[in-house]
Structure 1
Amino acid sequence: MTRINKRGFFHIKRKVTGLLVLTGLIFVFLPPLHAQENGPYRVRTVVIDPGHGGRDPGALGKRSKEKDIVLAISLKLGKYIEQNMDDVNVIYTRDRDVFVELDKRAEIANENKADLFISIHANGLSNSRVYGAETFVMGLHTNERNLEIAMKENAVITLEEDYASRYQGYDPHSAESFIIFNLMQNKHLEQSLHFASCVQNQFSERARRHDRGVKQAGFIVLWMTTMPSVLIEVGFVSNPQEEAYLMSEQGQDYLASAIFRAFRDYKQSIESREEMAFSQAEALSRRGVRYKVQVTASGRRISLDHEMFSGFSHVEEFTGNGLYKYAVGEETDYQRIVKFSKSVRERFPDAFVIAVRDTTVIPLSEALRQTE
């Protein structure tokens, strides 16, 4: 395992701060989940990714291999979903003991337009006293330990041919290379964190596991997916008591059941929120009302393709009080436009939400009353 001293770790963080800020500007304008073609958004496809496999055993306990434990839990999880949710399609990145490249795992999820990606792993340390379950989402490493875990999981790419070109020059042994790419999945960070919290709650309540919390780190398999994604570490095979639990039929059942319950809660929460937003959107659509974010006003007309509007969609011009007013973005859901406006204010500090009926700006209070 690669070790990074704390001084070096924070030095690297300072070096890439500017790039991380820029990366955030690139991705903050991406939209949240949207309604599907014939109605509100539904969680229809889940990809379950048992870590490691084949020539890659993963973490090694005294009597077990990570690849075997996580495959058993993954298959049980998929079975729970299939038995209880007829409207959900379950896809595995592997359903037997084979080696699957990290980019191929993400490709399976992306090509099947998955609504959620669940990568299941088990941990291992030289310290056999450490135990418990934790769930990771894509993001900036907040400490050295998170960085080490991600580097260990990502090192599997060295078993793949031509990994340097396949992963855009990423070096699994370089912390600096690591930190630079790790904010690339912010588009779905909120949903990923939501599901991760559901998982940890169920681990604590259902499986009675020690809750090590929700964490962020830069895992390649999460970086390359285009949907909400998490990486679950179900426990430590290096801890003798926890290894026995992870190897047992009952332990695997409890863990799979806990993740299933988390998925059920997440699905219900997401779909309930989206159904409400869809209903409000339909009501506003019937009245021709939409929300936008006004970013600037000028006595002179500004071209809608001016560089100041780069990165924004739905740029529109309105007139009033002798001024040309310019707004970006478009939503029929008020909460979504409020969230979008926060990111817009990073470039336009005085930006604010407006309501538009057809081509006319109307009082915001009037538009909100129509959705009550």
Structure 2
Amino acid sequence: MQLQQTHKFKTKANFFFVFLCIFFFSMHSSSIFSQKKYVIVIDAGHGGKDPGNLGNGYKEKNIALKVALNVGKKLAKKKDIKVIYTRNKDVFIELWKRGDIANHAKADLFVSIHCDSHNTNAYGAGTFVLGLRGNKKNLEIAKRENASILKEDNYADRYVGFDSNSAESVIGLSLLQEENLDRSLAIASLIQNNFAFKLKREDRKVKQDNFQVLRETIMPSVLVELGFLTNKKEGRFLNSKKGQAQMAGSIVDAIENYISNLKLNTVVDTVTKQSVVDAIEYKIQIASGKNKLATKSYNFKGLKDIERVKVSAFYKYYYGGTSNYEEIKKSLKKAKTKGYRSAFIVAFKNGDKISVSDAVKMQ
């Protein structure tokens, strides 16, 4: 009887000890991540010698800057947010430099702000994330924004082979930001929903296209088209203090919600990592497109054991598969020597895609 009571006491004590460990670890995790400074880079499109579009006599560069400063001023009031501007005055900043600023700051989010134009009376706000290709209308927007490259002093050397008027150059096959696509889509959706439902702006949806400024960043990134300066009514709205404050407020609200979700997910993931050993697998994504190719080596420059996975309307092609990070780096090197210059590492946890950095930390 005494032995049984002793056993029960030890069992209860062990359970209580484990409970306390989880409780204090959770509290400690919450404390750590509540203290983290989230770096947000706000990019006002165009500037200096590049005015952007001049619909109805308004200058895109001026409106984009005023909204960007408005966004930054509101975000800077938050203790857990650090704001960095790619420009805070009327100066010309090369597209590559904008991304470089965000990359060096190890930013958590990059938001590029623009105004749209069209030869019709089009109107409405839209938000873009990096993607392989869009429809013809999206392509024209990308071409206009990417044309800023031509105003850079050394653009021919920095963007070898890039032609802002070429569909092939604009669309490309660069998938280096695929890892951040889910988070980019998340913040883009929050921004777009605020435009459409809170401000009742015409909803031009979240879309994907190949904006050079988004290609230069290595973190979740979005490009916002506030509206059309070529539409008289919308142009007046965007040029007004009220319009700029409302659009900025919608962006700020979305970013704050995005960060709150990041905090929650980070704490949950951290606790999970301490208590569960997950199966991690690395692969090399070498291509993605709408064409369904046979996974034969002759279709992939001699690479064998290619895996084809359908995601929505696209097919993704993976090479190599290992739980060893050092091995997958060797596979990446091999894929690039075969000509897949834009190939990159992806990671999966129990079959679900996660960031490579998270996978490495887990292991």
TM-score higher than 0.5: yes
Q: 1:120 aligns with which of 113, 117, 132?
A: 113
- Indicate the RMSD between aligned Cα atoms, in angstroms: 3.0
Q: Which residue of 2 aligns with 1:63?
A: 57
Compute the displacement of 1:39 (Å).
5.7
- Tell me, which stretches of 5 or more residues in structure 2 are unaligned? 1-28, 284-303, 306-318, 327-344, 357-362
1:202 and 1:340, CA in 2 relative to 1: closer, same or farther beyond 3 A? Answer: closer
CA contact (8 A) 2:133 2:210 kept: yes
Amino acid at match of 1:61: G
1:271 and 1:39, CA in 2 relative to 1: closer, same or farther beyond 3 A? Answer: closer
Compute the displacement of 1:256 (Å).
0.3
Compute the displacement of 1:313 (Å).
4.9
Q: 1:47 aligns with which of 34, 41, 44?
A: 41
Query: Residue 62 of structure 1: SS of its match in structure 2?
Result: helix
CA distance in 2, matches of 1:196, 1:237: 21
Aligned length: 277
CA contact (8 A) 1:183 1:218 kept: no
Query: Residue 350 of structure 2: SS of its match in structure 1?
Result: helix
CA distance in 1, matches of 2:163, 2:35: 38
Amino acid at match of 2:43: D
Compute the displacement of 1:149 (Å).
0.5
Q: How does 1:143-292 map to 2 (within 5 A)?
A: 143-284=135-276, 289-292=277-280
Compute the displacement of 1:142 (Å).
2.7
Compute the displacement of 1:187 (Å).
1.5
Q: Which residue of 1 aligns with 2:351?
A: 338
1:158 and 1:209, CA in 2 relative to 1: closer, same or farther beyond 3 A? Answer: same
1:294 and 1:168, CA in 2 relative to 1: closer, same or farther beyond 3 A? Answer: closer
Amino acid at match of 2:55: G
Compute the displacement of 1:280 (Å).
1.0
Compute the displacement of 1:269 (Å).
1.4
Query: Residue 76 of structure 2: SS of its match in structure 1?
Result: helix
Amino acid at match of 1:221: V
Normalized per residue, the structure richer in helix is 2
CA contact (8 A) 1:132 1:236 kept: yes
**TM-score, structure 1 normalization:** 0.68
CA distance in 2, matches of 1:311, 1:338: 12
Query: Residue 57 of structure 2: SS of its match in structure 1?
Result: coil
CA distance in 1, matches of 2:346, 2:145: 40
CA distance in 1, matches of 2:134, 2:268: 35
> Which deviations, in whole Å up to 9, do the C-alpha atoms of 1:249-288 show, x marking residues without a partner?
110000000000010111111221121111111223xxxx
**TM-score, structure 2 normalization:** 0.70
CA distance in 2, matches of 1:203, 1:107: 29
Is residue 82 of structure 1 aligned with residue 92 of structure 2? no
Moved more, 110-119 or 158-167: 158-167
Compute the displacement of 1:165 (Å).
1.8
CA distance in 1, matches of 2:198, 2:126: 15
Compute the displacement of 1:43 (Å).
6.4
CA contact (8 A) 1:40 1:278 kept: no
Query: Residue 193 of structure 1: SS of its match in structure 2?
Result: helix
CA distance in 2, matches of 1:41, 1:194: 23
Q: Percent identical across equivalent pairs?
A: 42
CA contact (8 A) 2:43 2:98 kept: yes
1:150 and 1:294, CA in 2 relative to 1: closer, same or farther beyond 3 A? Answer: closer
Q: 2:125 aligns with which of 133, 140, 152?
A: 133
Compute the displacement of 1:171 (Å).
1.3
CA distance in 2, matches of 1:61, 1:91: 28
CA distance in 1, matches of 2:279, 2:106: 28
CA contact (8 A) 2:142 2:170 kept: no
CA contact (8 A) 1:138 1:182 kept: no
Amino acid at match of 1:339: D
CA distance in 2, matches of 1:215, 1:294: 28
CA distance in 1, matches of 2:227, 2:59: 12
1:178 and 1:312, CA in 2 relative to 1: closer, same or farther beyond 3 A? Answer: farther
Query: Residue 140 of structure 1: SS of its match in structure 2?
Result: coil
Query: Residue 47 of structure 1: SS of its match in structure 2?
Result: strand
